[in-house]
Copies of this chain bind each other. A is one copy, B any other.
Amino acid sequence: MSNPVLVEVFRGALVESRHHGAVAVVDADGATVLALGDVAQPVYPRSAVKMIQALPLVESGAAEKFGFGDQELALACASHGGEPAHVEVASRMLARAGLDGAALECGVQWPSHQDSGRALVRSGAAASALHNNCSGKHAGFICFACAASIDHHGYVAVRHPVQREVRGALENLAGVTLSEDQCGIDGCSIPTFAIPPAALAHGFARFGTGRGLSSERAKAAARLRAACAAEPYFVAGTGRFCTEIMKVFGPRVLAKTGAEGVFCGALPEQGLGIAIKCQDGGTRAAEVAMAAMIEKFLPLSDTERGALSCFLRPTLRNWNGIEVGSLRPATALQL
């Protein structure tokens, strides 16, 4: 089954580029509300499932034991920009377990937030694993292990107890059995298991509502949702899609980006989960598709509609700041 064009990139009067992809919107009972393209073909969810991957940290009581608040929990779900406040919270999480950045196994990454990267250079310091966009998730993994008296060393390996727990949470939420045959290594070295968008959307409907989950798991999901809604800056960072969308909509929208054009999210009040895969890996198109799903399924005030428009039809500007084009939802997304 082929994927439709989801997003067109205009320059002047012409479409310069186009992005194909699949979109699934599913309710907590698993009923398909919308399916565009091949929503049954497994895709690597990458960082789009960090909220689900953070469930064991909360469910196990580790987060409570270490006194984690909204910032720590939001950062455990984050692909952050490596801004100073992100690094500070990741350090704080590890310190609660008596550790520091040396325990992280995610690898060194320069801050993706450009100004923070330049400030780091000016300070004379080097980039570290704490600046890695996944450092909050990894700090969460390590703290989960420490609270459960599991040796945290090697926690990124597919058969380490930490990843077994994470995998179990994904299987439970998405309603699938995950296989090492369909498993890749993520940018931060943890396993990423391929899951169909339809199942990911179902998983996010459950995450967003708690329906179909154990009471402990539903409670943990609600705690993580509240943390992301309260501290959206810690889920991504300055000017980033996930942060800005959750700043506008608060607990009414969960939105989480993943590498290679994946987006997952939930509209808790509508009981819906959303999963998007732009087949060429284009994040810019997955963002537009996510904005289109919010426009379609969430009742919007005029103010909210106005705030959404810059994500639904982002303007492209050149080095002189001249408007040269825009991204626009293609026919398939004009629902």
Chain A interface residues (CB < 8 Å from chain B)? 9, 11-14, 16-20, 42-44, 105-110, 114, 117-118, 121-122, 132, 181-189, 192, 194, 260-261, 279-282, 285, 318-322, 324-325
In the bound assembly, the distance between CA atoms of A297 and B167 in angstroms comes to 47
Within the complex, the shortest CB–CB distance from A200 to chain B, in Å, comes to 15
- Residues B107 and A319 in contact, CB atoms below 8 Å apart: yes
Q: Which residues of B contact A280 (CB under 8 A)?
A: 17-20, 280, 282, 285
Q: Is the interface of A mostly helix, strand, loop or mixed?
A: loop
Known: A19-B280, A114-B110, A322-B185. A44 touches B11 (CB 8 A): yes
Within the complex, the shortest CB–CB distance from A315 to chain B, in Å, comes to 13
Within the complex, the shortest CB–CB distance from A330 to chain B, in Å, comes to 12
- Residues B185 and A319 in contact, CB atoms below 8 Å apart: no
Chain B residue nearest to A13 (CB atoms) is B181
- Residues A16 and B185 in contact, CB atoms below 8 Å apart: no
Within the complex, the shortest CB–CB distance from A112 to chain B, in Å, comes to 12
Within the complex, the shortest CB–CB distance from A333 to chain B, in Å, comes to 16
Within the complex, the shortest CB–CB distance from A65 to chain B, in Å, comes to 29
26 residue pairs from A and B, CB less than 8 Å apart: A9-B260, A9-B281, A11-B192, A12-B183, A12-B185, A14-B184, A16-B260, A17-B260, A17-B281, A18-B279, A20-B20, A107-B320, A108-B319, A117-B118, A118-B121, A184-B324, A185-B324, A187-B318, A187-B319, A187-B324, A188-B318, A188-B319, A189-B319, A280-B282, A280-B285, A282-B282
Q: Which residues of B contact A19 (CB under 8 A)?
A: 280
| Besides A9-B281, A17-B281, A184-B324, 17 other A-B contacts (C-beta < 8 A) | A11-B185, A12-B183, A13-B181, A14-B44, A16-B43, A16-B44, A17-B260, A17-B279, A19-B280, A20-B280, A109-B319, A110-B114, A185-B322, A186-B324, A189-B320, A280-B280, A280-B282
